[in-house]
Structure formats: structure tokens, C-alpha cells
A and B are shown apart, each in its own frame.
Chain A
Amino acid sequence: MTELGELVEDLVTDVDAVFLFSPSGSYFKQFEEIDVDVVVVATENAVGAEQFVELPLEFTDVIGRVRFGLEGAHGQELVEDGDEILCISKVFDDEMDTVMRVSSTEFTQTGVYDLFVNSRAEPSVIRDVFEVAVELGKKGQKGKPVGALFVVGDAGKVMNKSRPLSYNPFEKSHVHVGDPIVNVMLKEFSRLDGAFVISDSGKIVSAYRYLEPSAEGVDIPKGLGARHMAAGAITRDTNATAIVLSESDGIVRAFKGGELILELDPEEY
């Protein structure tokens, strides 16, 4: 058995930091005694760790989770380029069962962390919109697959770069995303054509908007439709973030600065 231990030893020698993904309090305590940088990556800092990266979603996909944790740690300057990092995470059960060694240079920055933390809109608003989109993608509208386009943040500019397709159902209302009732409303209104416009603080400004940004120079993967093109273009023209649920393949995509940043399959959440 010692030989097996020696083989695995390669994994843990000379690591610069240990990333714990959603550790329990007692598990985290064990690491405090060891002389190594510990970074906790979780949806909330339940263990009171000093170095902490907040996950906006419970990523079921390990690569997504590790990538977000790494980019977050990079963004907060908890790790440097070239650091060797040991990731300890849960995959199957509620116990730590996966150890992974990555080099922080191995990942190209995709801007996933940036999408949540450094967008104009508040991170919680972007997370709430994601949740609505994911839920809508899972269940569809009355069982049928639907598409939706949410433009979050920089609402003033977005409103000036779009025009109403019909009456705005959210006119003179003061509702915010994240409220369970409002999420139901959003799902009901998703059968309308056009985009939802949501302000920095999460107020739903309008539904039924036809976006008319200049699509010049927007480069999104081929095969995506007009909805995605509009999303890419509006984020290039304004400081908004666009979250799109595709009607054809049911995947949630996020655009920022005219580029596709994140792809999520709702079925995996």
C-alpha cells in the first residue's frame, strides 16, 4: 500500500496553494494546521476562511467549478501565474472525494469570474437572472422549449438602443429579479418576443424590447441564431451583460463585451 501512497505523492508535492471546494467546518480546520495557503471556494463563506472565492452557482461540472475558482483567485490576486494548485472537491457524494492538481497557467482566462464580479450589474442580480434562465431552460414554458434574452445592466443605454415591440408589461412597476413571484412573471412573459431589460440593481425595466445595436464586428460562433447575435451586439455596444436561453438547443449562454463568455447546460443543474 505504501507504493500506492508514493505514487500519489507526486500530486501533492510542492503545491503553492490548496483550494477547498465547499468544505465542511471540521474538514477546513484540519488544513489550518498545515503550513500551506488555503483558499475556500464555495457559495458562501460558512467556515469563515480568510481567503475565499464566492461561487455564484453550484457548478455540478467540476471543470467549470475549478475554472471559476481559479479565475476568482486570480482576480483577487490570491494566486500568481505559474502556481501549482491542489484542488480538493466533492463530485459524487457529500464528501471530499476528488483531488486534482492544476497549474494556474494551464487555464486561459475565459472571464467567467469577471462576468459575475466585474460586470456593471450586481453579482447577485446576474446570478438571479442565470437562475431564471436555467430554470426556464429545464422546464420550458408549459413544457415547450422556449428561448429568452435578458439584457442586464446599463439599462439606460440599452433602452436608448432598442425600441418597444408593444406595450411594456413592466411599465410603472417596481419589481426586481430574485423575487419568486417575479421569476414566475418572467417565465410567463418569456413567450413574448424580444428582450427583457434589467437594470444594475435588478429592477425589470422592460419586456418586449427589440434591440437595435450595430452588429458590426460582432464575432459569435457560427450556428447561433438572431437572438444570440442581438445579445452579442448589444453587449458590444453597451456595458451590459446578456444572458440568452437558446430555443433550439436549450443552452444558456452569457455574453459580455460582444463575446461569448459562458455556456451552461440547464439539464446539468
Chain B
Amino acid sequence: MAALDWPEFVRSVFSQEAAFYLSVAVLVVGVVVAYGVWRWVHGFLARIGVPDAVEGTPFERTAQSLGTSTAGIIAQLAALFVYIGMVITALSVAQLLDVEFFWSRLTGYLPRLFIAALAIIVGLIAGDKAALVVSDRLRSIKLPEAGVLPELVKYSIFYIAALVALAQIGVATSALLILLGAYSFGLILLAGLAFKDLLAAGAAGVFLMLNQPYTIGDRVRIGDRQGVVQEIDMFVTHVEDEGTEFIIPNQRIFRDGVTRVRD
């Protein structure tokens, strides 16, 4: 590894003391660079609107109660990792550590650790945010059972975030991955089964909306039902006949065809 020659290279160019001073200088530069990174990350996150996006999530609230914020934590984390990297560089320049061991293990490990921490934070926030959005959407449905859905979404995201983090720090995650695969397969299968008719009706509805083969007020016959069209929307068509209102799924209209009755 080229990096291994660094301390030796410094020694061959400068004296032993110079190498020591250089490592001290690296430490000082590390502080400055870490501060710069902290400022830049903080500013960058603020500019892309992270503080607004995470507003109200439990993670942000916990951070607030500790006197900081999500953006602050991420910025501090980035600064910390940069600083640790600098310290290791300084130590290795001064040859105070077993250089070979540290260079090969820790430097390879540091970025991964950082990404793992980032994955955890992003996962926590995204999970809570998604749960909030879903429960907001479901607010009009006053059904206690609907409360399960946001939780399900939240923990699914947590699970994936944990998986990413574990994989980053090198824990064997193949068993968890298989579990995730089985879970998502089941979810897609169930969703496909559940939404099959809705999707078909929606696709037919788009055609009906665009082409309008019949409009409100027309007398039509669909299958064995005849009446006046009262309403057409994405999924269903309302046809009324003498006080009886048929609500017909749009894919039925497509399959059976429409007969327009003109007198």
C-alpha cells in the first residue's frame, strides 16, 4: 500500500523532530478542517431544506430536547469522523501507533461507520415522516384498524435502514435480507391481488375520461342495466333508472361494452 510509505517518506525528507512537528500541524489543521466541514454540512443541509422536512418527527424532537437539531447532529458526525481521520494521520506520521494495523483497518472502516450512522439517522427520520404522511392521508377514515398501516410503513423503513447500516459495518445480513425479500414479495403479491380490480377500473376510467364515448345525461345500456348516466369518475360510472342507481365499475363497461340508447 502506498499509504504505508508515508511516515517513512516524511522521515527521509525531514528530520525526526520535523516529523513530530508535522504531526502536530496535522492535528491543528484537522481541527480547522473539521470545523469547516461542520459549517459546510450545516449550511448545506439548511439550504436543501432538511430542517423543514424533519420538523415534528420524534428524532428531531429528541435532538431539540438535547439542545441540537438533526442537521446539527449530522454535521457534528461528519466533523467528528473527519477529525478522527486527521488524528489517525497525525499519530501515524509521528509513528506513535502500529501504523500498518491502523491504516489497513480503521481508515477502511471509518467511512463505513459514518455511512452506517447516517443510514440509521435517515431511516429513523424517513420512517417517522412516512408514518405521519400515511396517517394524515388516512385521517378521514375513522377506523381503529387503519392505525396499523402507518406503523407498518414506519417499521418497514426502520428495518431497511438497520439492514443498510449492518451491511455497512460488515455484519452478516443475508438471513435478514432473505426475510426482507420474503416480506416484500408477500406485500407485492397481496397488493397486486387487492388492487387488481381497482387498477383495471382506473385504466378503463382514464380512457372513458379522455374519449367520453358517453356523457352525463345519455341513456345507456351496460350489460343488462339500462339508465341515464349521472356521474363518471376514475373508477365507477353511476347509471340511474327510475330511482335505482347502479354504480358500475369501469372495467365492466369496457368488457361488456356500452349501448347508447337514442330515441
Contact = CB atoms under 8 A, between A and B. Distances in A.
- Indicate whether A and B interact: yes
B8 interface: no
A199 B212 contact: no
A142 interface: no
Contacts, number: 38
B229 interface: yes
B235 to A, nearest CB: 12
Nearest to A200: B231
Interface stretch (A8-16, A28-36, A151-159, A242-250): A151-159
Given A159-B217, A160-B217, A154 B209 contact: no
Given A158-B217, A160-B219, A203-B216, 12 more contacts: A155-B216, A155-B231, A156-B218, A156-B227, A156-B228, A156-B230, A156-B240, A157-B228, A157-B240, A160-B228, A174-B209, A200-B238
Interface residues of B, number: 15
B216 A205 contact: yes
B217 A203 contact: no
B200 to A, nearest CB: 20
A158 B228 CA distance: 10
A126 to B, nearest CB: 16
A205 B230 CA distance: 10
A199 B231 contact: yes
A124 interface: no
A172 interface: yes
A201 interface: yes
Contacts of B256: none
Contacts of B233: 201
A198 to B, nearest CB: 10
A201 B245 CA distance: 14
Interface in B172-216: 209, 212, 215-216
A201 B212 CA distance: 18
29 contacts: A154-B230, A155-B216, A155-B217, A156-B216, A156-B217, A156-B218, A156-B227, A156-B228, A156-B229, A156-B230, A156-B240, A157-B228, A157-B240, A159-B216, A159-B217, A160-B217, A160-B219, A160-B228, A174-B209, A199-B216, A199-B230, A199-B231, A200-B230, A200-B231, A201-B231, A201-B233, A203-B216, A205-B215, A205-B216
Interface string B106-130: 0000000000000000000000000
B127 to A, nearest CB: 29
Interface string B226-259: 0111110100001010000000000000000000
Contacts of A159: 216-217
A157 B218 CA distance: 9
A214 to B, nearest CB: 18
A160 B229 CA distance: 10
B254 to A, nearest CB: 19
Contacts of B218: 156
Given A156-B217, A156-B240, A205-B217, A172 B230 contact: no
Nearest to B233: A201
Contacts of B227: 156
B231 A203 contact: yes
A157 B228 CA distance: 7
